[in-house]
Amino acid sequence: MPEHGVTGERQSISREIAELARMVVDVGRCVVLTGAGISTESGIPDFRSPGTGLWTQVDPMEILSATAFRTKPEAFYQFILRLCDSLRAAESNDGHRAIARLEEMGLIDVVVTQNIDGLHQRAGSRNVLEVHGHLRTGTCVKCRRSYDMGFVLDVVRRGSLPRCDACKGLIKPDVVLFEDPLPVDFVLAQQAVIESDLLIAVGSSLEVAPVCYLPGLASRLAIVNLMPTSYDSRAQVVIHARAGLALAALAEAVRLESGGNSHSEQEDSRNSPGDIE
Ligand SMILES: [Zn+2]
């Protein structure tokens, strides 16, 4: 029976979940870092799992590169079109919703994500740093004018390349391509992790640059990932489970642990005079 399986899976991680819930309630600033593993449960395949979904016919690292955008913009945009269509069809899952709930309770300060699917925002998260960018807007490569991706994709659907009204420069989606420099959001993410008391890494192998450097900056580390990571030995709590299951259990355990503490109580304790901002 599938339900029995989920119950068993929950029980096997209950001690770690309770420990992490206590940490989340007790520490000051908490940052969550999410990778592809949180979105696979929404049906979005991991870029690095070749042969799944959109990635059966193309190598994502080749097509989603600055070189491909420059040298083969038509093929690049045909792929972006299919990617956007598949992401639009995806829904946020229990993992995204649990993070949004903890953020609303004032227990998570910042969500740092490697994902470009926008599912954290759709689940209700507000303070999201997208270290690989996003697909909501595009920018003219010449004059930096910003365009809505809806407009850009309409042009692509009509069989043309999206060009700037003002200068005719090509419009580039605001996603970080392979070979691109690091975005501002990564610098902000580094700062957020340095200033945090706890980093919870969810659904990330923690092997991909630049995100692989973030756990090393954290004062306390918790890991939620199906597979072991190279940081497991340095983490205070390690939970090998599906992100949706583990985070839903965490949100519930936090609710019990905090005894229904209100958001304002959390804020009050956090803004004690001893805090250095
Ligand atoms: Zn322009």
Which residues lie near ion ligand 1 (Cβ < 5 Å)? Answer: 140, 142-143, 145, 164, 166-167, 169
pLDDT tens digits, one per residue of 17-26:
999 999 999 9
Confidence class for position 53, pLDDT limits 50, 70, 90: low
Tell me the whole-structure pTM to 2 decimals.
0.88
Q: What is the DSSP letter of 170?
A: B
Find tokens 């250095």 and name the residue: 276
Residues with Cβ within 8 Å of residue 276, at least 6 apart in sequence: none
Query: Are β-strands 237-239 and 133-140 bridged in parallel, bridged antiparallel, or unpaired?
Result: unpaired
The Å distance, Cα 84 to ligand 1 centre, comes to 23
pLDDT at 56: 65
Judged by DSSP in three states, 245 sits in helix
| Residue 177 Cα to ligand 1 middle (Å) | 20
pLDDT, one tens digit per residue, over 80-93 is 999 999 898 899 99
Tell me if residue 132 is catalytic: yes
From 139, 117, 112, select the one nearest 210 (Cα to Cα): 112
Distance 156 CA to ligand 1 centre (A): 17
Query: What's the 143 CA to ligand 1 centre distance in angstroms?
Result: 4
Structural domains of the chain, with CATH: 15-44+92-132+182-264 (3.40.50.1220), 49-89+134-175 (3.30.1600.10)
Q: Please give the full DSSP string across 52-105, using - where no structure is assigned.
A: SGGGGSS-HHHHTBHHHHHH-HHHHHHHHHHHHHHHHH----HHHHHHHHHHHT
